[in-house]
Amino acid sequence: MKFLDYAKVYIRSGAGGAGCVSFRREKYIEFGGPDGGDGGNGGSVWAEAVPGLNTLIDFRYQQHFFAKNGQPGMGSQRTGKSGEDIVLKVPVGTEILEEDGETVIADMVEVGQRVLLAQGGNGGWGNLRFKSSTNRAPRNANPGQPGVERTILLRLKLIADAGLVGLPNAGKSTFLASVSNARPKVADYPFTTLVPNLGVVGIDGREFVMADIPGLIEGASEGRGLGDQFLGHVERCSVLLHLVDGTSSTIARDFRTIVTELEAYSPKLAAKPRIVALNKIDALDARTLANRRRSLEKASGGPVHLISGATGQGVRDLLRALWREIEPSRIEKQESAPKWEP
């Protein structure tokens, strides 16, 4: 299945059916009176977060969703049939935006969450509704209300507790494959990761979700390489794991490149808790490792974990450090999560 995290969708709710003007006319009944029924309501358009989806690829092949109109009312006090609703099934983590791309309509963060996108029009009243003591034979009825037509944007942001960032070929995919059940593509050339990957990581009887996004390069915020189009997938993360390639001869520069791109994308993302790890230490001798660790500690201004995604060296301690950042954030999210009614 191809990965798609952005889609434009055109929706329209159904119009209400018109009310009916009708009079009861039966043999041997002198005073029939009005008996026009109401029109049916138009169908509405809903969005629902469902499990088992991790892409918006379905909306590439169908972008128009139009609910059915309500049927008009009929004689003998018969109400028209209401139009059927349409439900857009989206992955958990989907943001629904107005056409301007900035106004958030809804953030679908829980399975089963539903939001009304376009209300169907009410059906018009039939002439039976207008009968009164002074108007015994009304000959007017209401038309149905029109439906609502709008354009919305769907933007998927994967739900993950920790996000992997780094330059291409920093060993992010190898690390994710070694600590989780994910099987991303691994190769000895840059940009092997073209779409985000998710993996469930277990440590000391606890589990959390880690997201690996394609590597960033200098100028990604200006569209170079794959650009920063996938950084939205780590915006929900509680902590960022910044992997730096230990075999690089420009350790400090590599670190600052990623930090600069994060700041250019979003100051909020750049301010997230970040753990720095020097990867591929199995390929370094002791002297080179010590020098590059000092260089990275000076650039980052904090401690640096030494790991090897290929051999597993230092990985367990790093995962425990990640969990210490994730646990309080997860508790806070649960306590502050908005309550919604299905």
| CATH number of the domain residue 47 falls in | 2.70.210.12
Is 194 annotated for ligand binding? yes
Is 65 annotated for ligand binding? no
Q: Give the chain's radius of gyration (CA, Å).
A: 29
pLDDT of amino acid 115: 94
Is 32 annotated for ligand binding? no
Q: Considering only CA atoms, which of 102, 110, 4 is closest in space to residue 47?
A: 110
Task: Give me the residue label for tokens 């370094």.
Answer: 284
66 and 126 share one domain: yes
Q: Which of 156, 181, 201 is the C-terminal boundary of a domain?
A: 156
Domain for residue 37, yes or no? yes
204 and 329 share one domain: yes
Residue 273: phi and psi, rounded to 5, are -55, 135
14 and 146 share one domain: yes
Q: Stretch 174-200: mean pLDDT, rounded?
A: 67
CB proximity list for 333: less than 8 A, separation 6 or greater:
none
Q: Stretch 144-172: mean pLDDT, rounded?
A: 88
Task: Specify the long-range contacts of residues 259-268, CB closer than 8 Å, at least 24 apart.
Answer: 260/218, 261/216, 261/218, 261/220, 261/221, 261/228, 262/165, 262/231, 264/221, 264/228, 265/221, 265/228, 265/231, 266/231, 266/235, 268/235
Q: Which of 4-8, 119-123, 168-172, 278-282 has the highest mean pLDDT?
A: 119-123
SS3 332: helix
pLDDT of amino acid 341: 52
pLDDT band at 189 (very low <50, low <70, confident <90, very high): very low
pLDDT of amino acid 156: 87
Domain for residue 18, yes or no? yes
241 and 323 share one domain: yes
The span from the CA of 236 to the CA of 160, in Å, is 7
190 and 118 share one domain: no
The per-residue pLDDT for range 72-92, each reduced to its tens digit, is: 999 988 999 999 999 999 988
Is 272 annotated for ligand binding? no
Q: Stretch 117-133: mean pLDDT, rounded?
A: 92
Answer yes or no: are the C-beta atoms of 197 and 184 closer than 8 Å: yes
Q: Stretch 180-205: mean pLDDT, rounded?
A: 67
pLDDT of amino acid 1: 46
The span from the CA of 50 to the CA of 81, in Å, is 29
Q: Which domain holds residue 274?
A: 162-336
Is 193 annotated for ligand binding? yes
pLDDT of amino acid 48: 94
135 and 209 share one domain: no
257 and 137 share one domain: no
Is 161 annotated for ligand binding? no
Residue 50: phi and psi, rounded to 5, are -125, 150
Is 123 annotated for ligand binding? no
Is 296 annotated for ligand binding? no
182 and 75 share one domain: no
pLDDT band at 335 (very low <50, low <70, confident <90, very high): low
Domain for residue 107, yes or no? yes
Q: What is the mean pLDDT of the chain?
A: 85
Is 198 a residue whose pLDDT tops 70?
Answer: yes
The per-residue pLDDT for range 43-57, each reduced to its tens digit, is: 999 999 998 887 888
pLDDT band at 194 (very low <50, low <70, confident <90, very high): low
199 and 226 share one domain: yes
Domain for residue 269, yes or no? yes
Is 212 annotated for ligand binding? yes
pLDDT band at 342 (very low <50, low <70, confident <90, very high): very low
pLDDT band at 269 (very low <50, low <70, confident <90, very high): confident
Burial class of residue 3, CB neighbours in 10 A (0-12, 13-18, 19+): middle
pLDDT of amino acid 334: 62
Is 185 a residue whose pLDDT tops 80?
Answer: no
Q: Considering only CA atoms, which of 135, 211, 142, 155 is closest in space to residue 180?
A: 211
Is 177 annotated for ligand binding? no
169 and 310 share one domain: yes
Domain for residue 12, yes or no? yes
Is 192 annotated for ligand binding? yes
SS3 234: helix
Q: Stretch 224-241: mean pLDDT, rounded?
A: 73
| CATH number of the domain residue 190 falls in | 3.40.50.300
Q: Which of 122, 156, 190 is the C-terminal boundary of a domain?
A: 156
Domain for residue 89, yes or no? yes
Q: Which of 121, 156, 191 is the C-terminal boundary of a domain?
A: 156
- Picking from 129-138, 154-163, 280-289, which range would have the lowest pLDDT averaged per residue? 154-163
| Number of domains into which the chain is organized | 2
173 and 74 share one domain: no
**43-82 as b/e: b if 16+ CB within 10 A:** bbbbbebeeebbbbeebeeeeebbbbbbbbbbbebbbbeb
- Picking from 171-175, 229-233, 244-248, which range would have the lowest pLDDT averaged per residue? 229-233
307 and 232 share one domain: yes
Indicate the angle between helix axes 315-336 and 172-179, nearest 10 degrees. 80
